[in-house]
Structure 1
Amino acid sequence: MTLRLALAAALATGSAGASAATLAVGGNGPYATLTEASRDAKGGDTIIVAPGIYAGARFHADGLTIRAAANAVPGSVVVNGNTVGGKGLFVIVGDDVTIAGLTFEGARAADGNGAGIRAEGRNLSVTDARFIGNEMGILANGVDGSVLTVRRSRFTETASRAQDRVGHAVYANGIARLVVTGSTFERGARGHYIKSRALDTRITGNRIDDTNGSASYLIDLPEGGAATISGNLLVKGPSPDNCCTAIAYGFEMRKGGSYINPPGPVRVSGNRFVNRAPGIVTFFANRSAPANAATLSDNELVEEQGRIVVATGHATVNGKAAATSYISNAATFAEMALKPPMSGIFALLGFGLAGIIVGRRKPVTR
């Protein structure tokens, strides 16, 4: 016997369908588990989850909203335990699903790809969610025309337990668009914080901080495509799995075939990049093939360690073509100032200028 709320689901005379229902899980609600609610859920329903700890579930209905109860404090509605079908704590099969206010914790799978949320349908929106200690945060299948939107969410300690796998906090396969805004990423290991094969990727107003992690790239767009990366705080940590790149663009395009997205505008602007890694780190590395030029403007680069190359490949920086060897580092300038040929008073002037610059170590805006 169904537990759907009868009033909300009642058929109007002559109506072709039912009104949306609200299904309450936990607390004093009629459903004890998310799986029970998912079995009864129909298109357009809302599933409200009371504070507590729950096992995962698979959701088939379209247009669902799955959200924490209004009285739930952040982090009090937790989904953990075994992944569903070895895929994720939530497996979203339906289209146009919204998830809000839930915490996904400790997802594991035999293949090392256990996700907090596995998106198999079209169009998923995730808001005010937390992802803690999963092998993947959100893993979206390649679905033509789909849009994945992530707002005001937090991803921490993402790491695959399989030696031959890497864990990404957000991984979008071949979809139309990925939008990530107002979110925080930290303490990742080996994988990338955001990896997108979407035709259009928009990453704005986030904090991606690897200070206490050992991730690879902060952002990886391996198949190119259109991209907007703006207004983010990006920090390359002191112990990265990949030493030398913060934002990677087009690194797999030389494979050909399905690894090439159509070209689109690539804009990287108004970000603050802090380098805490030793050695030389490229802020934006462009290996697109065929070449798709990027435009960089008004990015602030702060060198707490090492050296920063602003851009490599096809790019303009504040309206000027980027040289592969362009380095925005005071110590590098000092080193160049002391190289021969230089003698007499010019060498002394160079030494003095170098000392002043290195001593100040000011942020550099590019």
Structure 2
Amino acid sequence: MKGLARRRFCAALACGAAVGARAAGPGVVHEVGPGRRFATIAEAARVARDGDTVEVQAGEYRADVAIWAQRQLLLRAVGGRVRLLADGASAEGKGIWVVRGGDIRVEGFDFEGARAAARNGAGIRFEKGRLAVVDCRFRDNENGILTASDRAAELVVERSLFQGNGSGDGQSHNLYVGRIAALTVTDSAFHDARGGHLLKSRAARSEIHRNQLTDSDAGQSSYELELPNGGLANVTHNRLRQGPATTNSAMVSYGAEGYPWPENRLVLHDNLLIDDRPAGGIYLRVAPGERQVELQGNRLEGASRTRARELAYRGV
């Protein structure tokens, strides 16, 4: 090896950079895909360190499951969408990805077909830290995303799709959020959960804005939105539609399992709620207890609109 080339090679080793990776700010970029350093995402997950970026080339990755425990990490698809097909595999028996890091951002991935022995296999099982999911799709999993109940955890979902998730037992959902600190969902779409809810959150604070939570005529979801443990919930500028084949008469439910959080207030502003259940349903059901409810600017359409107001908003 000659002079300049040798010096550059040694410098890379001295600063800890892996051969085949490139610097990206404070961390390193690890490339995954055909002809790249890593053939599988799982390999990159084992090598990546705090502050790194993992770039995955567009295409299908089958049974390529991974665990992410870094304190800070960016995971992004490059050159198009990346489809992660479970094909019977799962990380720790939980899902396609298990995330329990500090601050992890995921962009441009499709998670499909997650199954588990407990019938709660998730596209992503989120256990601790802060997770941001941007422009991702979750289809045909037992849960799209399933969180643990770490009270310091935060989940952010932006511009993503959840469709056809659920095991059919009513205990798994398109998005199932446990008792975490905060959930924020914006500009996303939730459709046709299999027997479960379109979106279920037990978080202390739930921010739900500008989303589509709608069933098709063939959809068999239960609630469109359930907040079973109350908390601070701001629900604004969403479109919710209950299809004719729904398995539950109510569209939105608040506090059905009690109010464990110190503050419990539901703000339901400027939403469109469409009830297409032939027998009519309940737009909003609120359980009794120490809570506040603020309703403003909501439009009610469908079968329930012609029924008594106490059936449209029950318990308020």
TM-score bracket for this pair, using the shorter chain length = 0.7 to 0.9
Q: Indicate how the Cα distance of structure 1 residues 7 and 221 shifts in structure 2: closer, same or farther if over 3 A, else same.
A: farther
Query: Given the superposition, is the C-alpha separation of residues 313 and 26 from structure 1 closer, same or farther in structure 2, using an over 3 Å criterion?
Result: same
The code of the aligned residue for 1:56 comes to V
Matched residue, 1:220:
226
Q: Is the counterpart of residue 260 in structure 1 residue 265 in structure 2?
A: no
- Structure richer in strand, relative to its length: 2
Which residue number corresponds to residue 64 of structure 1?
Answer: 73
Counterpart of 1:234 in structure 2 is 240
Alignment map for 1:210-359 (pairs within 5 Å): 210-211=215-216, 212-242=218-248, 244-253=249-258, 260-289=260-289, 291-303=290-302, 309-314=311-316
- Aligned to 2:72, the other structure's residue is in SS state coil
Q: 5 Å matches for 1:64-143?
A: 64-69=73-78, 71-72=79-80, 74=81, 76-81=82-87, 82-143=89-150
Q: Is the 8 A contact 1:118 1:138 kept in 2?
A: yes
Cα 1:247–1:7 change in 2 (3 A) is farther
User: Which of structures 1 and 2 has the bigger CA Rg?
Assistant: 1
1:172 paired with 2:181, answer no
Does 2:166 match 1:185? no
1:313, CA displacement in angstroms? 1.5
Q: Report the CA distance shift for 1:149/1:8 in structure 2 as closer, same or farther (over 3 A).
A: farther
Aligned runs of 1:147-158 on 2, under 5 Å?
147-158=154-165
- Distance in 1, Cα, partners of 2:29 & 2:154: 25
Residue identity in the other structure for 1:235: R
CA-to-aligned-CA distance 1:213-260 (integer Å, 9 cap, x gap): 101101111111110111001000101111x1000000001xxxxx62
Alpha-carbon distance in structure 2 between the residues aligned to 1:9 and 1:129: 37
Query: Is this contact kept in 2: 1:249–1:288, CA < 8 A?
Result: no
Query: What TM-score do the two structures reach when normalised by structure 1?
Result: 0.76
Length, aligned pairs only: 292
Would the alpha carbon gap of residues 185 and 9 (structure 1) be closer, same or farther in structure 2, given more than 3 Å must change? farther
Cα 1:36–1:125 change in 2 (3 A) is: same
Measured at CA, do residues 294 and 305 of structure 1 come closer, stay the same or move farther in structure 2, by a change above 3 Å?
A: closer
Deviation for aligned residue 1:59? 1.1
**Counterpart Cα distance in 1 of 2:119 and 2:213:** 23
| Structure 1 position 278, deviation (Å) | 1.8
What residue identity is the alignment partner of 1:172? V
Report the Cα distance in structure 2 between the residues aligned to 1:114 and 1:181, rounded to whole angstroms.
24
- Partners of 1:10 and 1:208 lie apart in 2 by 49
How far off is 1:305 after superposition?
7.0
Letter in 2 for 1:38: A
1:79 CA drift (Å) = 4.0
Distance in 2, Cα, partners of 1:46 & 1:156: 28
Query: Which ranges of structure 1 fall in alignment gaps of 5 or more residues?
Result: 1-5, 13-17, 254-258, 315-366
SS of equivalent to 1:50: strand
Q: 1:275 to 1:9 in 2, by over 3 A?
A: farther
Any conservation in 2 of the 1:229–1:267 contact (CA below 8 Å)?
Answer: yes
Q: Measure the CA separation in 1 of the matches of 2:285 and 2:14.
A: 54
Equivalent residue of 2:45, what SS? helix
Aligned alpha-carbon RMSD (Å):
2.1
Gaps of 5+ in 2: 1-10, 18-24
Return the alpha-carbon distance in structure 1 between the equivalents of residues 101 and 219 of structure 2.
34
Q: Which residue of 1 aligns with 2:21?
A: none
